[in-house]
Amino acid sequence: MVATELLNADSGVIYDAIVIGAGVIGPAVATGLARKGKKVLIVERDWSMPDRIVGELLQPGGLRALRSLGMVQAINHIDAYPVTGYTVFYNGEHVDIPYPYKSSCPPVEKLKDLVKDGNDKVVEDETIHIKEYEEDERERGVAFVHGKFLNNLRSIVGQEKNITRLQGNCVEILRNAENEVVGAKVNIEGRGKVDFKAHLTIICDGIFSRFRRELDSQHVPSVSSSFVGMALKNAKNPAPMHGHVILGTNHMPVLVYQISPDETRILCAYNSPKLPTDIKSWLIKDVQPFLPESLRPSFDEALSDGKFRSMPNSYLPARQNDVTGLCVIGDALNMRHPLTGGGMTVGLNDVVLLIKNIGDLDFSDRETVLDELLGYHYERKNYDSVINVLSVALYSLFAADNDNLKKLQKGCFKYFQRGGDCVSVPVAFLSGVLPRPLLLTRVFSAVALYAVYLNIEERGFLGLPMALLEGIMILFTAAKVFTPFLYRELCS
């Protein structure tokens, strides 16, 4: 039974903003604008708690964005599990990669009108401790059951007096005679299709967005691989409070991270958008033998249960918001490979930047808002391009399917083993606290050159001519998996 308050939004009001979608990004946008005094309508097809295997790990950069928005307490009281870094396994070896020191990161920005009464600080609960998150010397991330986190975000939305919530299926984005966006048509239970008008319509309907093409008919993602996921019960993780990346020359990458005190998520990469016909047999043959021993009992139990979930891995470079009255944000606008868990971090930081740019404007002045959105597209590039390009490049290396990529995979792991800046700088990119694309280029080049060096060392003096030839191919391969994506991110 749908609550009456979710069905009776007033269609006679011209809202400052209509937000389409109440996933992670929608509530953040709506809350930020409402606290800036805007009258907001947020539309969601189903306000009940979803059950998904996406959006379960939030990097430190995403947590910092929640602090800036005054919404960080959304991670409280949901049995969320702290994340302090990563452990990378490679052919039986491993290296620990802790998150950066807070002293090496800029201070968290507190957005005016959004941060108040301590809402940029976590509160104490059974799994999230103030001492660890507020006083520890290192940045932290957090993992959680996605639906519980989403419910908290939606609860925050429900407490904002300037927000009207509506349950219904958005069926059309409305345009005027000049082809400007002026609102949305929503199919509401018991009311039928109703038109709602607004000065700005914000599209954040996620991975499978129906309305991203309102920007451009060609704005569609490409899908090249998949993840198969399972829930591991009471798993004994090799490195507690770490995400685990399990690599090897004979298998695809596997991600493992704990999302609650008794549940761990495992995501197994499959290098095709079309899943194997017999998923269980594939997991037994191509995943099970390569897992750390401590994970085997819980993995085998999950296998016997046979509850497999899958998700496509999509890539979509952002397009400029150049339609009057329209703003597309989050995964509807821009997607990257989920290997590095950067989706929510990119989206939430985009929300922070968006609120800074347009939060204090009069939305009825649509041309001024459009001008700011055009500038916003370029301002977001430094931050977002680092996470986006890193995700695609690392997946290419970690899912190596030819000799040159396998040499780069080995070089990447051995580079991490060197420690010092060879660990601290890459993890700063990964965690979303170092938005410097040119530095990322330099580091990726260093990894490629180190892979060449290792190959020469392995070949020895007599194999030097072959090693030099292979070195050229390694560098060419590195450029091929990195440069086109960096260009698309920075020049789109």
What percentage of residues in the chain have a pLDDT greater than 90? 96
Structure token digits, residue 46 = 């189903």
Name the 3-class secondary structure at 468.
Answer: helix
List where CATH 3.30.70 sits in the chain: 222-314
CA 269 from centre of chain:
17
Rounded Cα gap, residues 50 and 48, in angstroms: 6
What percentage of residues in the chain have a pLDDT greater than 70? 100
pLDDT at position 4, please? 83
Identify the architecture of domain 4-220+316-380 in CATH: 3-Layer(bba) Sandwich (3.50)
Q: Give the β-pairing of 242-248 and 251-260.
A: antiparallel
String of DSSP letters for 225-244: EEEEEEEEES---SSTTEEE
- List, for residues 139-172, the tens digit of each pLDDT value: 999 999 999 999 999 999 999 999 999 999 999 9
- List, for residues 344-388, the tens digit of each pLDDT value: 999 999 999 999 999 999 999 999 999 999 999 999 999 999 999
Residue 297 one-letter amino acid:
P
Contact 337, 395 (CB under 8 A): yes
pTM to 2 decimal places: 0.96
Rounded Cα gap, residues 92 and 289, in angstroms: 11
Burial 435-470 (b: 16+ CB within 10 A, else e): bbbeebeebbebbbbbbbebbbeebeeeeeeebeeb
Cβ-proximal residues to 467 (8 Å cutoff; 6+ apart), any chain: 455, 456, 458, 459
List where CATH 3.50.50.60 sits in the chain: 4-220+316-380
Rounded Cα gap, residues 321 and 353, in angstroms: 14
Name the 3-class secondary structure at 78.
Answer: coil
Mean pLDDT of the chain: 96
Enter the CATH code of domain 222-314.
Answer: 3.30.70
Structure token digits, residue 390 = 């890193």
pLDDT at position 492, please? 76
Tell me which DSSP letter residue 26 carries: H
Rounded Cα gap, residues 408 and 452, in angstroms: 8
- List, for residues 35-87, the tens digit of each pLDDT value: 999 999 999 999 999 988 889 999 999 999 999 999 999 999 999 999 999 99
